C-alpha cells in the first residue's frame, strides 16, 4: 500500500473562540495534536464539535485565535491549499447521482490532477483499502450506512491526506460496524502515519483508538488526557457524560397507555 508517501503533520489550535451573532459557541479553545496522533474530541450534541472541525478545515474563519496546521495558518487561503487535509463530513456528503467510482474521482478530475490511468489506479487502491472494490459501480443509495461512511473515507484517501478530520464517523452505525470504522482509522494511522482529529460521541471509539481525548462541553474544553485518565475522571460533568445513568423509576420513562 503506498497511497500516502508524505510525512505526518501536527495541528495547533490557539485560543480559538467563535460566536454566531451574539451567541458564543466556542470559548478560548487551545489544542495541540502531535503528528501521527489520533486525537478524539467528545462532547454532547450542540457543544460545538462540528463548528471546531469546520474551522480546522479552513471552511470558516475564527473570531479570535489561530489554527495552525504544520505550522501554517489555515485562515490564509494561500497556505490552506498547501496542506494535504481531508474533512469527512458528519453526513458523508456523497453525490447520490454519481457512482462510488465517480464520487472518488470527482475532485481529482475537476482539478486535472492525474491522467486517466493513474486516477483509476488511485481510486481503485483507495476502494481496496476499505474493502469496497466491488462497490465501484454502485450508487450511494444502494449502499448501507456503514458502506457510505467507508466510501466517504475512501474519497478522502484518493487525495493522499496527511491529516484527516472525521466528524462522527461511527454515528448511525451498529456497534460492530462502529468498531470496524474505528479499526480503519487506527489502520490508516498505522500504515500511512495519518494524523487524525476525530469528533465523536462514541465512547468505545475514544477509549479504544485515541491517544488522547478532549472533552468539549458548552463550548469549553474541560479535559485533555489519555483515554485511561479520562475514564477515571473525577469531574462530575464529564463522569455523567461518559456514564449516563438512566433512572428507570423516573416517571418520565413509565410506560404510557395510548388510546387507539
Ligand atoms: N453557521 C451557524 N450559524 C449559527 N449558529 C451555528 C452555526 N453553526 C453552528 N451553530 C450553532 O453552534 C452550536 C454548536 O453546533 P455544532 O454543530 O458544532 O454542534 P455539535 O457538537 O457538532 O453537535 P452534534 O453532536 O449534534 O453534531 C449549535 O448551537 C449550533 O446551532
Ligand atoms: Mg456535529
Tally the domains of the chain. 1
Report yes or no on 47 lying in a domain.
yes
Residue 126 in any domain: the answer is: no
List the shell of residues around ion ligand 2, using CB closer than 5 Å: 50
2-6, 191-195, 201-205: least confident range = 2-6
Q: Given this model, what pLDDT does residue 237 score? A: 92
Q: Which of 56-70, 117-131, 244-258 has the lowest mean pLDDT?
A: 244-258
In a domain, 191, yes or no: yes
pTM: 0.88
For the chain, how big is the Rg over CA atoms in Å?
Answer: 20
Predicted local distance difference test score (pLDDT) of residue 2? 45
Q: Is residue 214 part of a domain?
A: yes
Tell me the best of 22, 25, 167 to mutate to test the pocket of ligand 1, counting ligand atoms within 8 Å of each CB and taking the most: 25
Question: What is the C-alpha separation between 258 and 64, in angstroms, rounded?
Answer: 52
Residue 124 resides in a domain: no
Q: Which CATH number belongs to the domain containing residue 178 in this structure?
A: 3.40.50.300
Task: Answer yes or no: is 125 within a domain.
Answer: no
What does the mean pLDDT of the chain come to?
Answer: 88
Asked whether residue 119 is assigned to any structural domain, the reply reads no
| Residue 147 is assigned to a structural domain of this protein | no
Angle at 142 between CA 191 and CA 205, to 5 degrees: 40
Q: pLDDT tens across 80-112, in order?
A: 777 788 888 877 688 999 999 999 999 889 888
Closest CA to 241 of 200, 209, 212, 211: 200
Which of 3, 7, 11, 1 is closest to 196 using CA atoms? 11
Ligand 1 mean position to 26 CA, how many Å? Answer: 10
243 confidence band (pLDDT: 50, 70, 90): confident
Domain that holds residue 42: 11-84+160-253
Helix 145-158 with 175-192: angle, nearest 10 deg:
10
The C-alpha atoms of residue 214 and residue 206 are separated, in whole angstroms, by 10
Q: Which residue has the higher pLDDT, 103 or 246?
A: 103
C-alpha cell at 47: 457543544
Amino acid at each position: 500500500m503506498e497511497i500516502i508517501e508524505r510525512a505526518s503533520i501536527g495541528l495547533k489550535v490557539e485560543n480559538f473562540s467563535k460566536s454566531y451573532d451574539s451567541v458564543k459557541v466556542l470559548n478560548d479553545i487551545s489544542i495541540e495534536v502531535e503528528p501521527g496522533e489520533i486525537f478524539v474530541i467528545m462532547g454532547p450534541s450542540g457543544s460545538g464539535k462540528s463548528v471546531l472541525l469546520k474551522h480546522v478545515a479552513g471552511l470558516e474563519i475564527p473570531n479570535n485565535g489561530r489554527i495552525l496546521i504544520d505550522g501554517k495558518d489555515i485562515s490564509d487561503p494561500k497556505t490552506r491549499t498547501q496542506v494535504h487535509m481531508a474533512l469527512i463530513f458528519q453526513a458523508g456528503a456523497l453525490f447520490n447521482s454519481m457512482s462510488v467510482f465517480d464520487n472518488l474521482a470527482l475532485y481529482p478530475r475537476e482539478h486535472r490532477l492525474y491522467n486517466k490511468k493513474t486516477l483509476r489506479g488511485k481510486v481503485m487502491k483507495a476502494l481496496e483499502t476499505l474493502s469496497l472494490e466491488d462497490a465501484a459501480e454502485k450508487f450511494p443509495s444502494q449502499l448501507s450506512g456503514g458502506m457510505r461512511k467507508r466510501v466517504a473515507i475512501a474519497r478522502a484517501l484518493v487525495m493522499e491526506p496527511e491529516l484527516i478530520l472525521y466528524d462522527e464517523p461511527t454515528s448511525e452505525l451498529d456497534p460492530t460496524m462502529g468498531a470496524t470504522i474505528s479499526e480503519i482509522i487506527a489502520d490508516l494511522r498505522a500504515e500511512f502515519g495519518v494524523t487524525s482529529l476525530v469528533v465523536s460521541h462514541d465512547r468505545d471509539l475514544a477509549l479504544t483508538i485515541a491517544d488522547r481525548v478532549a472533552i468539549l462541553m458548552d463550548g469549553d474544553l474541560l479535559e485533555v488526557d489519555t483515554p485511561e485518565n479520562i475514564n477515571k475522571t473525577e469531574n462530575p460533568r464529564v463522569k455523567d457524560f461518559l456514564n449516563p445513568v438512566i433512572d428507570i423509576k423516573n416517571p418520565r420513562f413509565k410506560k404510557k397507555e395510548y388510546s387507539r
